[in-house]
Amino acid sequence: MSARVPGPVMVAAGCGGTGRELEPYLGPAGLDGLDFVTRSITLDARPGGPGPRLVEVPGGIVNAVGLPNPGLEHFLATELPWLVRAGARVIVSIAGATMGEYADLARRLSRAPGVAGLEVNVGAPDEVGVGLFEVREPYHSASVIAAVRREFPADRPVLAKLRPDVSRIVEGARSCHEAGATAVVVGNAVPAAFPDGRAGGLSGPAIAPIALRCVATVHQTVPEVPLIACGGVRDAASATAYLRAGASAVQVGTALLHDPTTLARLRADLETSHQEDP
């Protein structure tokens, strides 16, 4: 049995808190049935980077949050059970410094009750700066995906989250798909800098045209690769643009920081348009 591609509306990694903080804004259904991608979880706890971690720029934000998370152990003991009880379909984003760490994370998460799938963070805008496995070349990402796929049951999705770099995205998507990724998430924040030159990633409406170009290019070149779009999704129009370009789902991230009710509205809007357009 092959894994189902999640969606059509998902919470993007790192933008839903631990789930509890998002719940008040999701309407009566809450997290029930929602594809919730966690912030990236690492084997050991990480305090995250120093402040300021986010700075506002026209059309978006630049962030260098530094993957703060309580580590796998604590996540499994506290955050995961809460999300599962709330009815979320929990897709755990994982990040590691080595291929072995990615494999370890995948193996241990495969045994944890309630993990619906994994999203492999192989497209961080500054992986070297935050101590992650470096994915300069598409085959680096593909090797990580293969290592994760070996440890994780085939009937549950493994998503590969890549950088929205139009010159490399087709090769990256193809090789990750061949390595066993159920779908490719296009994409992560765009490598950028804070006003003081510090490395970070740009997200928000500013990057939507870039991610859209990547989604369209991948879909045209390798249509067999299921795509999940991420980048500046804030309303039905921006989501529909991605779905028309070939994505089968969208992730909502930065928009939640601006308006935490975006997700509830978008879910309702897309369901309505789906009913009207059989």
Residue 120 CB, shortest distance to other proteins, in Å, is 20
Residue 59 CB, shortest distance to other proteins, in Å, is 7
d(CA 151, CA 147) in angstroms, rounded, equals: 7
In the list 85, 111, 244, 258, the residue contacting other proteins (rule: CB under 8 A) is 258
Residue 108 binds other proteins, judged by CB under 8 A: no
Q: Which is nearer to other proteins, 47 or 278 (CB)?
A: 47
Q: Which of residues 41-80 bind other proteins (CB under 8 A)?
A: 47-54, 56, 59-61, 63, 65, 68
Rounded to a whole number of angstroms, the distance between the first and last alpha carbons of the chain is: 27
d(CA 238, CA 241) in angstroms, rounded, equals: 5
Q: Identify the three-state secondary structure at position 153.
A: coil
Q: Which amino acid is at 167?
A: S
Alpha carbon separation from 122 to 85, 159, 162, 234 (Å, rounded): 29, 10, 6, 24
Q: Which is nearer to other proteins, 60 or 138 (CB)?
A: 60
Q: Which is nearer to other proteins, 5 or 83 (CB)?
A: 83
Strand ranges (E), the chain: 9-11, 35-37, 54-57, 60-63, 89-94, 115-121, 158-162, 183-186, 190-193, 199-203, 227-230, 249-252
Residue 103 binds other proteins, judged by CB under 8 A: no
- 59 and 39 Cβ atoms separated by less than 8 Å: no
d(CA 165, CA 231) in angstroms, rounded, equals: 12
Residue 265 CB, shortest distance to other proteins, in Å, is 11
In the list 44, 155, 259, 271, the residue contacting other proteins (rule: CB under 8 A) is 259
Each residue 1-40 as x (binds other proteins by CB under 8 A) or -, in order, gives -------------xxxxx-xxxxxx-------------x-
Residue 231 binds other proteins, judged by CB under 8 A: no
Residue 27 CB, shortest distance to other proteins, in Å, is 11
In the list 153, 257, 268, 269, the residue contacting other proteins (rule: CB under 8 A) is 257
Residue 129 binds other proteins, judged by CB under 8 A: no
Give the interface segment with other proteins, choosing from 81-89, 95-103, 118-126, 256-264 (CB under 8 A): 256-264
Q: Which of residues 193-222 bind other proteins (CB under 8 A)?
A: 204-205
- 186 and 208 Cβ atoms separated by less than 8 Å: no
Helices 208-221 and 236-244, interaxial angle, to 10°? Answer: 20
d(CA 54, CA 33) in angstroms, rounded, equals: 30
Number of residues that bind other proteins (CB under 8 A): 36
Question: Which residue ranges make up the site for other proteins (CB under 8 A)?
Answer: 14-18, 20-25, 39, 47-54, 56, 59-61, 63, 65, 68, 204-205, 254, 256-261
